[in-house]
Every structure is written in C-alpha cells, then in structure tokens.
C-alpha cells in the first residue's frame, strides 16, 4: 500500500503546486507549478520504476459509494511506463513554461487559470493511467479534456483560437461518448465498473469483446488522433501556447494510446479482424498524417499533422503486436508491441522538443508561417540545433531514437513475413512499404521545415533581431536532446526496458520469453551506428586537418552569374513541396484563388492555393453540420422561460412516479 500512497501523494503535490500558484504573484506562478511538478514527478517516477522492474503490480483499492463502487488503483508495467513518460515530459514542460510565459506577465489576465489548469492537466493524466474503474476513469478523463480545453483557449481573444478550442471540446465529447457506450456495454454484462470484471466477460463473449474494442478504439482514437478522428489536432495545437502543444502532442494524446493498450490487455487475445483493423487504420493515419503535413505552412499545424503520422506508427506497432498475439507469433508480438511502446516514449521526447524549439522561434519572431521565416540558425544556434536533432529523430533516421523504435517495428514485420501465413505475409509487405513511404515523406517534410525556417536568409524583416531563448527553455531542450541520443545509440537497453511492458500485453507464453537472442541483433545495430559515428568523426577531422593551413574564405552563394540575387529568390516551402503534392494531388482537396490580370494595364492579380484535409471536408464537417442541424430542432426546449422549466421538472417527477407505480 505504501507505494501507492506515494503515487497519490505525487499527484497531490502536483495539484498543490497548481493551487499555490493561484495566490502567488505572476512571476512566481510558473516556478510554483514547476517545483510542484518536479517533486511530484520525482515521486511518481520512483514508484513507476519500482513497478516496472518488480514482479507484481502495485495495487490499492478504495471503497467508495455510488456511482463508482470500489475504485482500484493499479500500477502495473503498462501503467508504470506511461506514468513515467507523462511525469518526465510534464516536468520538462513546466520548466520550459518558466521562460516561455515570461512575455505574458502583466499583459494578460489568464495566467492564473493557465497555471492552475496546467497542474490539473498533469494530475488528471496521471490519474487516468492508474484508475481501474470505468466511472472514475471517465471522470478523470473528462477533467483532462476540460483542463486542456482551458489551456488551448489561453489566447481566447483571438477568434481563431476560440474556434479551435470549441472544436477541440466538441471532438473530445464525441470521443467520450463512444467511451461511455463501450464501458456501459461491458459493465452491463459484468455488473461492475471495475476493469478486472470486464476481462471475464470478454473471455465469454468474443463478439462483445470485439464490439467494445471498436467502440473504445474510436473513443480513445479521437484523443490519440487516428485518421479520421484527427481533425481537432491540427486546429488545437497551433492555438495553444507552445509548452501546451508540446505536452498535448507529446503525452496527452498518448493517454489515448494507453487506453487502447489497456483495452487490449482487458481483451487479452484479440480477434484477427480487430488486429487487422488496427493495423489498417494505423497505416492510413501514418501515410495521410505526413502527406497532409507536407502541405502545411504553419509550423505548429505541420507538427500537429506529424503527431497523426506518429500515432499511426505507434498504432502499426500495436497492430503488429495484436496480430502476433492472434496468430501466436511470439517474435512478431514482442517486437510489434515493443516498437509501438518505445515509439510512445520517443515521440513524446522529440515531438515536445520540436514544439519547444518552435515556441522559441515564435517567442522571438512572433511568426509561425514558414514562408516568412528563414535564417534563424544565425540568431538562435541552440534552438536550431534542437530542432535539427528533433527533425532527424522524427524522420526515424539513425543514430537517434526514432530509428530504434521504427527498427523494432520493421523487424517485427520481417518476423511476421517469414512466419508462413500468406495473408499475414501480404499484410506485412504492404505495411513494410508503407512505413518506408512514411519515412521518406517525413524526410521531405522536415528538410522543408528545417531548411526553410532555420537555414538560408530571412524571408521577411523581423521586428527585432531574434535572440537565443532563456535558460529554462534551453535546459528543457538540452535534456530532451540528451535522451534522444542516449536511446538512439543504446538500442539494447531500450528493448530490455520496453520488452517488460510488451510482455505484459502478450499471453502467458510471452511472459517468460527470453529476450537475449534479440539483444545480439541490436548489438549489430549498435555496432553499425558506432561505425557510422566513428567514420563521420574521422572524415570531419580529416577535413579540418586538410583545411588547416589553406585558404577558406566566404563568398556570396553561387547564383549562376546573376549578381543581384535577393532573399525573395530563395526556394520557398510551397515550391519545395510542390513536386510531391502534384504527384499525390488526389489525396487533398484543393482550394484555389486565382485572380487573372485584366485589361491593358492590369492591376491586382494573384494566385493562391491551399491543400485541405479531405477527411475534414468530406467526413467530419458534414457530420458536424448534420449534428448541428438536428440539434437545432430541439432549441425550443431551452426557451429561457422559468415557468416552462418548472413544467419540465413536474413532468419528470410525474413520469418517475408513474414508472415506479407500474414497475
């Protein structure tokens, strides 16, 4: 029991930090939350590490009354892993916020609520992970959605931010509706809201298990951002302050992944159809997420679409794990789950790093439009390096962490490919090619962002020359970069860590699995990476040696003899992405504004094209407007007249009385 008390105390300290910050003067608020989160996160990390490496999970039960019944808290390996990730990234986020929120002090009233809800978000995320009772889970889930809603709506005086936050709120509530139906369907059969009782029901009713899984997948998938439930993401992320985008994209959407994994754990051995369903949805999310990202010109919107892509990659890993379980293919299950779970950690690190670096650029230039930026590396070398490291990691390139998790997933696919089942083999070949395609597109996208934003010359006049960000922001980014390199070059330890979680998700046979044969291969990877890094160092040293006593001088960029080049002649992000977008035109719905030059002395003329999300225009928006129309039919209920409301109460009471009398 003691350990669980520490965990709860950790959540309490984080909340206390938020409460204390409310009464403090403005410049101390961020410190209070960072301190609270730091202490709380340390406690939670300690408990989680214990739970991760102990045999039995940490549990506690609290007898509460209606509506929850007994509430169990469990920190098993799955929960321990997620709470570790959440605690770590949350702490970095609050440290980053110290520097990031400084310009807002004295200018904005919302900082009190902002810091309180930041603490509330972190506390609720951690509670979601531990709670094992459907009702309590949904309450914590709702607190998480609401506190993040208030965080997104921070700059609510802007119409765009306001719209985005309302859109987010609606999406979250449609998502939670599916969760409620799913949980109710299971609870109706089992007679209890406790998760453990669901497992027994799912064992007996396989059909119900699959149905509940799909319902919960939609609910959790809305949070996680699977296509086609992703449309809130690219709206909410640009609207929120950067540390919030970092936390939302880095860890909050992972609570959706946690929910899916928890459901998998409840179902234990999933049906084939369900596993293929997860795999297919994930492949589609991965491909479309990155394809849509390429068309974006707002950095944060672009990064948001990349979250859709990375959730897709995580989902591919989970899908492989489920397929492995369904087919009894232990290596496939182990590597699939391990890859997906490790990608949860990796993505939380590099995506929050990318958002933090972007936040630094925004703080100093007040710009998010890629086409207006450029040459930032000359003003903010640290931030540029951070973004470069994050870019390489998110493209899944060696020697950084993104490569390791993608390698596990590829490797798992190979194990499935050669397992002898034709259908599985075909599925593996196509997911194999899809993941390669996703990787190549991510490379296109991030060379575009990094190249256009940070390199070259500024494309517009900055109000003032940007300067490097403050120490607290740098500190957070430095830690993230360190982690990225560490996981990247030591894949063996990464597997040893996540295999524990993966084995919990696998049926009995997998739990006793010896992972040492896998470590031999990872030793090979590690050797290859070492050779690469060594060769690079040697070549770079050779270059320096050769150039030591020679003339190295700088001159204008070669522009084919034309001597009046200017910054407007640089390649833009749109032109960079154009060849790709032309080939994959059908994926997007295009909006083109074209004003032809007219008359003998043409005046204004212009051409603008926007690539839009097909799912948003084709599926989500029509559905939303349909809901809106049908809801409008009920507006007469809310008339504003008190007498009418009293009548409702009366009608309700009479019908209840009648019902009791009859039944």
Partner 1 sequence: MMITIINIALLLIMPFLFLGFINRIKSRWAGRKGPSIMQPFRDFMKLMKKGEVISSTSSFVFRLAPSVTFAAVITAGLIAPLAGGKSVISFEADFILFAYVLGIGRFFTVVGALDTGSSFEGMGASREVTFAALVEPAFFIIIASLGLISGGLSFERIFEIAKGGDVAILVLPLGIIALFIMLLAEGCRVPVDDPNTHLELTMIHEVMVLDNSGPDMGFIMYAAGMKMVVIGALIANLVIPAAFPLWASLGLMIAVQALLAVVIGTIESVTARLRMTHVPQFLLFMTAISAIIISTVVLFIAGGIK
Q: Pinpoint the alpha helices (H) of 328-400.
A: 330-365, 381-394
Q: Please, what is the minimum distance in Å from the beta carbon of residue 614 to partner 1?
A: 19
**Which residue, chain included where needed, has tokens 């009385």?**
657
Whole-number minimum distance, CB 434 to partner 1, in Å? 7
- Least Å distance, CB 600 to partner 1, is 32
Neighbours of 625 (CB within 10 A): 10
User: Smallest Cα–Cα separation from 180: which of 216, 151, 150, 144?
Assistant: 216
Looking at residue 70, the DSSP 8-state letter turns out to be E
Question: Quick one: 194 or 406, whose CB is closer to partner 1?
Answer: 406
Q: Shortest distance, CB of residue 347 to partner 1, whole angstroms? A: 17
Place of tokens 């109706």: 188
In terms of CB distance, is 17 or 286 closer to partner 1? 286
Q: Is 58 exposed, middle or buried (0-12, 13-18, 19+ CB in 10 A)?
A: buried
Q: Which is nearer to partner 1, 535 or 653 (CB)?
A: 535
Tell me: cis bond preceding 67? Omega within 30 of 0 counts: yes
Nearest approach, Cβ of 172 to partner 1 (angstroms)?
34
Give min distance, CB of 389 to partner 1, in A: 12
- How would you write 445-460 as a 3-class SS string? HHHHHHHHHHCCCCCC
Nearer to partner 1, 63 or 560 (CB): 560
Inter-residue contact 396 to 439 (CB < 8 Å): yes
Q: Which is nearer to partner 1, 16 or 455 (CB)?
A: 455
Torsion of CA 538, 544, 545, 550, to 10 degrees: 160
| d(C-alpha 577, C-alpha 574), whole Å | 5
Nearer CB in complex with partner 1: 152/287 = 287
Q: Report d(CA 385, CA 405) in Å as an integer.
A: 22
Comparing CB distances to partner 1, the nearer of 53 and 571 is 571
Sign, CA dihedral 515-519-522-524, equals negative
Q: How far is the CB of 421 from partner 1 (least distance, A)?
A: 8
- Between 130 and 357, CB nearer to partner 1: 357
Burial (Cβ within 10 Å: 0-12, 13-18, ≥19) of residue 546: exposed
3-class secondary-structure state, position 571: coil
65 class by beta-carbon count within 10 Å (0-12 exposed, 13-18 middle, 19+ buried) = exposed
Q: Is 278 exposed, middle or buried (0-12, 13-18, 19+ CB in 10 A)?
A: buried
User: Which pair of structure tokens corresponds to residue 365?
Assistant: 């230039």
- Measured from the CB atom, is 86 or 428 closer to partner 1? 428
The minimum distance between CB 522 and partner 1, in angstroms, equals 8
Shortest CB 594 distance to partner 1, Å: 21
Report the distance separating Cα 285 and Cα 310, nearest Å.
Answer: 8
Question: Looking at beta carbons only, is 91 or 411 nearer to partner 1?
Answer: 411
- Of 92, 83, 332, 57, nearest to 195 by C-alpha is 57
d(CA 530, CA 655): 75
| CA distances to 157, 375, 463, 557 from 570, in Å | 35, 11, 21, 11
Instruction: Compute and round to an integer the Cα radius of gyration of the chain.
Output: 26
CB nearer to partner 1: pick between 569 and 627: 569
Residue 554 Cβ vs partner 1, minimum distance, rounded to whole Å: 4
Minimum CB separation from partner 1 for residue 272, in Å? 13
Torsion of CA 427, 433, 439, 443, to 10 degrees: -160
The DSSP 8-state label assigned to residue 38 in this structure reads H
* Cβ neighbourhood burial of 258 (10 Å; 0-12, 13-18, 19+): buried
- Residues 6 or more apart in contact with residue 660 via CB below 8 angstroms: none
Rounded Cα gap, residues 404 and 398, in angstroms: 8
Residue closer to partner 1, measured from CB, 429 or 605: 429
Whose Cβ is closer to partner 1: residue 99's or residue 491's? 491
Q: C-beta of 443: minimal distance to partner 1 in Å?
A: 6
Q: Which is nearer to partner 1, 436 or 626 (CB)?
A: 436
Shortest CB 534 distance to partner 1, Å: 8
Q: How far is the CB of 544 from partner 1 (least distance, A)?
A: 9
Comparison of 247 and 438: residue with beta carbon closer to partner 1: 438
Phi-psi domain of 561 (left: phi exceeds 0; alpha: psi -120 through 50; beta: other): left
| Least distance in angstroms from the C-beta of 560 to partner 1 | 6
d(CA 566, CA 568): 5
Give yes or no for a cis peptide into 611 (omega within 30° of 0). no
């Amino acid at each position: 029991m003691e350990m669980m008390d520490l965990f709860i105390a950790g959540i309490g300290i984080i909340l206390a930090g938020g409460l204390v910050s409310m009464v403090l003067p403005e410049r101390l608020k961020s410190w209070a939350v960072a301190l609270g989160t730091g202490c709380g996160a340390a406690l939670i990390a300690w408990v989680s590490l214990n739970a991760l490496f102990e045999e039995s999970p940490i549990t506690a039960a609290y007898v509460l009354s209606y509506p929850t019944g007994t509430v169990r808290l469990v920190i098993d390996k799955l929960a321990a892993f997620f709470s570790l990730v959440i605690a770590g990234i949350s702490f970095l986020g609050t440290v980053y916020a110290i520097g990031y929120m400084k310009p807002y002090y004295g200018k904005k009233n919302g900082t009190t609520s902002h810091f309180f809800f930041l603490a509330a978000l972190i506390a609720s995320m951690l509670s979601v992970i531990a709670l094992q009772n459907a009702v309590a889970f949904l309450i914590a889930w709702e607190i998480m959605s609401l506190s993040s809603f208030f965080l997104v709506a921070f700059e609510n005086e802007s119409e765009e931010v306001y719209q985005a936050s309302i859109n987010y709120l609606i999406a979250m509530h449609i998502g939670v509706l599916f969760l409620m139906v799913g949980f109710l369907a299971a609870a109706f059969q089992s007679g209890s809201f406790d998760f453990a009782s669901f497992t027994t029901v799912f064992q007996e009713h396989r059909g119900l298990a699959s149905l509940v899984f799909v319902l919960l997948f939609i609910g959790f998938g809305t949070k996680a951002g699977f296509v086609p439930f992703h449309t809130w993401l690219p709206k909410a992320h640009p609207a929120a302050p950067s540390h919030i985008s970092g936390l939302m994209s880095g860890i909050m959407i992972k609570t959706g992944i946690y929910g899916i994994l928890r459901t998998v754990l409840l179902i234990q051995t999933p049906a084939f159809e369900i596993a293929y369903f997860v795999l297919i949805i994930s492949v589609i999310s991965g491909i479309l997420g990155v394809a849509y990202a390429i068309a974006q010109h707002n950095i944060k919107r672009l990064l948001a679409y990349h979250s859709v892509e990375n959730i897709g990659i995580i989902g591919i890993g989970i899908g492989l794990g489920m397929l492995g379980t369904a087919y009894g293919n232990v290596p496939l299950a182990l590597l699939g789950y391990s890859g997906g779970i490790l990608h949860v950690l990796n993505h939380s690190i590099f995506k929050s790093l990318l958002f933090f670096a972007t936040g630094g650029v925004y703080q100093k230039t007040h710009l998010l439009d890629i086409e207006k930026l450029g040459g930032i590396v000359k003003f903010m070398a640290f931030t540029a390096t951070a973004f470069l490291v994050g870019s390489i990691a998110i493209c899944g390139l060696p020697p950084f962490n993104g490569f390791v998790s993608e390698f596990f997933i590829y490797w798992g696919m190979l194990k499935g490919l050669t397992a002898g089942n034709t259908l599985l083999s075909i599925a593996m070949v196509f997911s194999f090619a899809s993941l390669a395609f996703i990787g190549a597109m991510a490379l296109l996208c991030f060379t575009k962002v990094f190249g256009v934003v940070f390199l070259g010359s500024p494309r517009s006049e900055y109000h003032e020359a940007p300067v490097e960000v403050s120490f607290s922001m740098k500190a957070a980014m430095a830690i993230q970069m360190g982690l990225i390199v560490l996981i990247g070059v030591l894949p063996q330890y990464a597997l040893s860590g996540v295999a524990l979680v993966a084995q919990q998700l696998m049926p009995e046979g997998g739990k006793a699995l010896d992972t040492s044969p896998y470590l031999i291969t990872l030793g090979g990877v590690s050797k290859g990476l070492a050779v690469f890094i060594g060769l690079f160092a040697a070549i770079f040293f050779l270059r320096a040696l050769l150039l030591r006593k020679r003339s190295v001088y700088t001159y204008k960029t070669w522009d084919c003899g034309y001597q009046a080049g200017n910054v407007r002649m640089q390649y833009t992000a749109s032109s960079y992405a154009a060849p790709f977008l032309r080939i994959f035109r059908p994926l997007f719905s295009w909006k083109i504004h074209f004003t032809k030059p007219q008359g003998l002395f043409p005046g204004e003329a212009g051409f603008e094209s926007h690539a839009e999300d097909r799912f948003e225009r084709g599926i989500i928006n029509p559905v939303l407007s349909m809901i809106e129309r049908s809801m409008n039919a009920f507006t007469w209920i809310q008339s504003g007249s008190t007498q009418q409301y009293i009548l409702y109460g009366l009608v309700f009471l009479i019908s209840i009385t009648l019902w009791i009398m009859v039944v």
